């Protein structure tokens, strides 16, 4: 039997990049996966078809999870489709980098709402069914920027640091109901989200990484799979940096 057989996983922002890799990994371990997306239906459907081609079960559900009403509807649709929700991966995220002197208020609001509020929205919607079944795994995708900060990313760094605080608070709040809450902090991973970064910044990041390579989406998915598994049943409130040694706290 596969490790996550009969488990149901919801991955926000699951249509591309790290989210896509997480969805595929959890499905490969036997989970039924809901691939959430905001805009790119074709990309989300490609993930679903890839999972189905491998013999797994999946469907794609559109929702802007920065809205609590839409996050709640997304969780309800998951429960309607599969009858339960075991694993929630809060991966939805965006960037709008700029120096604070030049950053628009909208750029702050969009990033904080997408990266931080969405995780709270989805967790709030998911905890009742998880508490009822006395089982749950919540994994938040933070960032090394949330641990160490990054110039030109005051909005992103603050949102990802907030995710770490949310992770620890929820771990304390939900542990008595057998719900674990952990976070994965990726280092630099080449995805669509990071494609616009200047080459000199990419070179600097590589220089700061002791392992001498950038991470892959699959590296992050492997860490999420650990937190989602029964092997991590006694691990909660933790932040695992998957960054090649870039940030050592």
Per-residue burial over 206-224, b = 16 or more CB atoms within 10 Å of its CB, e = otherwise: eeebeeeebbbbebbbebb
Residues found in the chain: 249
Q: Which H or E run contains 168?
A: helix 154-174
Whole-Å CA distances, 154 to 93, 192, 241: 15, 20, 20
Whole-Å CA distances, 51 to 2, 5, 34, 87, 232: 15, 14, 11, 17, 24
Q: Which of 37, 82, 135, 156 is catalytic?
A: 156
Active site residue 234: no
Catalytically active residues, by annotation: 156
């Amino acid at each position: 039997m596969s490790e996550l057989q009969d488990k149901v996983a919801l991955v926000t922002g699951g249509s591309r990049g790290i989210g896509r890799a997480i969805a595929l990994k959890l499905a490969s371990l036997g989970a039924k996966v809901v691939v959430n997306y905001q805009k790119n239906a074709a990309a989300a459907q490609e993930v679903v078809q890839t999972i189905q081609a491998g013999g797994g079960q999946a469907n794609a559900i559109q929702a802007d999870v920065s809205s609590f009403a839409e996050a709640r509807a997304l969780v309800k649709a998951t429960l309607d489709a599969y009858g339960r929700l075991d694993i929630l991966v809060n991966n939805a995220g965006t960037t709008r980098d700029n120096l604070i002197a030049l950053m628009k208020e909208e750029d702050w609001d969009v990033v904080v709402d997408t990266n931080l509020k969405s995780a709270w929205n989805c967790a709030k919607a998911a905890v009742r069914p998880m508490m009822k079944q006395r089982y749950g795994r919540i994994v938040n995708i933070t960032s090394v920027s949330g641990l160490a900060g990054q110039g030109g990313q005051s909005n992103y760094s603050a949102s990802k640091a907030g995710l770490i605080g949310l992770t620890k608070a929820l771990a304390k709040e939900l542990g008595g109901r057998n719900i674990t809450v952990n976070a994965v902090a990726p280092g630099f991973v080449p995805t669509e989200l990071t494609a616009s970064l200047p080459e000199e910044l990419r070179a600097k990041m590589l220089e700061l990484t002791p392992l001498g390579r950038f991470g892959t989406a699959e590296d992050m998915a492997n860490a999420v799979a650990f937190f989602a598994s029964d092997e991590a049943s006694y691990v909660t409130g933790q932040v695992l940096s998957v960054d090649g040694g870039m940030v050592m706290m």
